[in-house]
Structure 1
Amino acid sequence: MDYYLIGWILVFFLILFVEGLSQQLIAVWFAVGAVVAIIAELMSASFNVQLSCFVIASIISLLLLRPYVKKATAGKIERTNSDENIGKTAVVIADFDAATNEGRVMLSGLDWAAKSLSSVKLLKGEQVTVVSISGVKLLVSRKEEE
């Protein structure tokens, strides 16, 4: 009975099991190495050659395939309906606090917490432009600053 072959097959399935638990493609490269080591064993290579094949194939698969797999599995940023507010004009409904640069604005009929991106105090009635959104807070700048 060929114990090295059984050992490499067990290593292969153990790596796949660990990969299944992680869900982050951290061990699949070693599964490729295990397959190459199995092929080396089937060709009657010595254990040192099998181990070398495992290490080299794992490193090569990591270096060559990881960038492509990472790019293919990268999550795409989905815009939300709140992102539609970026670039719109809002009206200050509560003076902005000079210390925190925070206040309240009205945008599309909704009252929003807001933070000014500049240190200029914004007063009630002034128009501001929504630059971005951080959580549930609009980040705004004075309208003439565009």
Structure 2
Amino acid sequence: MIDLVIGNVPLDWALWIVVGVAFLIIELLTGTLYVFCFACGALLSFLVSFFTDSFVAQLSAFAFATAVSIFLIRPIIKKYLHPKENEKVSNADALLGKEGRVSEQITGTGYGRVAIDGDDWKAQSQDGMTIPVGSRVKVVSRDSIIITVAPL
């Protein structure tokens, strides 16, 4: 048991305040919301320290509150703080809906090339028509590394 005592007054609560504040500072630096769960555990242990001097009981409260926070509270908080996190598109999927300029003529049944944001992509026409160089097009779909475009 950790005995922090001034006179005959145990100061276990002070330990939990220091631990909780440390976890909150670390959370501010990381932003993952995992460390915040440990701060919640320290808060419950702080409250328990007023009712018992047993460090084992305080540590058990810390573990319990941390686990509950990770599995129940964190998902709810994350849902409200980052509502569109799962909607992010990356890599080639981010091309859908983008506009570009034809850099090599797209033949009716064949392929050509389209420049989009500094990258040059192999492209085919959506409706099978020929699209001349310099035309503005919009990406409507993607199959592997070949994009399908429609003229604007």
Give me the TM-score of the superposition, normalised by structure 1.
Answer: 0.61
Are 2:80 and 1:72 equivalent residues in the alignment? Answer: yes
AA aligned to 1:11 is: V
Q: Secondary structure at the match of 1:63?
A: helix
* Alpha-carbon distance, 1:22 to partner: 1.3
- After superposition, the C-alpha distances for 1:68-117 in whole angstroms (9 at most, x for unaligned) are 11211225469xxxx9x8399x9956235xxxx65137xxxxxx944327
Are 2:141 and 1:115 equivalent residues in the alignment? Answer: no
Give me the TM-score of the superposition, normalised by structure 2.
Answer: 0.59
* Residues 1:57 and 1:115: Cα distance change in structure 2 (over 3 Å): same
- Structure 2: give runs of 5+ residues left out of the alignment: 1-5, 89-93
User: Which of 3, 9, 20 is the aligned partner of 1:12?
Assistant: 20
2:147 paired residue number: 139
Q: Secondary structure at the match of 1:42?
A: coil
AA aligned to 1:103 is: R
Q: Secondary structure at the match of 1:44?
A: coil
2:34 paired residue number: 26
* Residues 1:114 and 1:29: Cα distance change in structure 2 (over 3 Å): same
Matched length: 122
* Residues 1:41 and 1:87: Cα distance change in structure 2 (over 3 Å): closer
* Residues 1:104 and 1:87: Cα distance change in structure 2 (over 3 Å): closer
- Structure 1: give runs of 5+ residues left out of the alignment: 106-111
* Alpha-carbon distance, 1:24 to partner: 2.5
The answer to whether the Cα contact below 8 Å between 1:114 and 1:140 also exists between their aligned partners in 2 is: no
User: 1: CA distance between counterparts of 2:66 and 2:124?
Assistant: 49
* Residues 1:24 and 1:104: Cα distance change in structure 2 (over 3 Å): same
The answer to whether the Cα contact below 8 Å between 2:44 and 2:61 also exists between their aligned partners in 1 is: yes
Are 2:105 and 1:95 equivalent residues in the alignment? Answer: yes
Q: Quick one: percent identity of the two aligned structures?
A: 27
AA aligned to 2:139 is: V
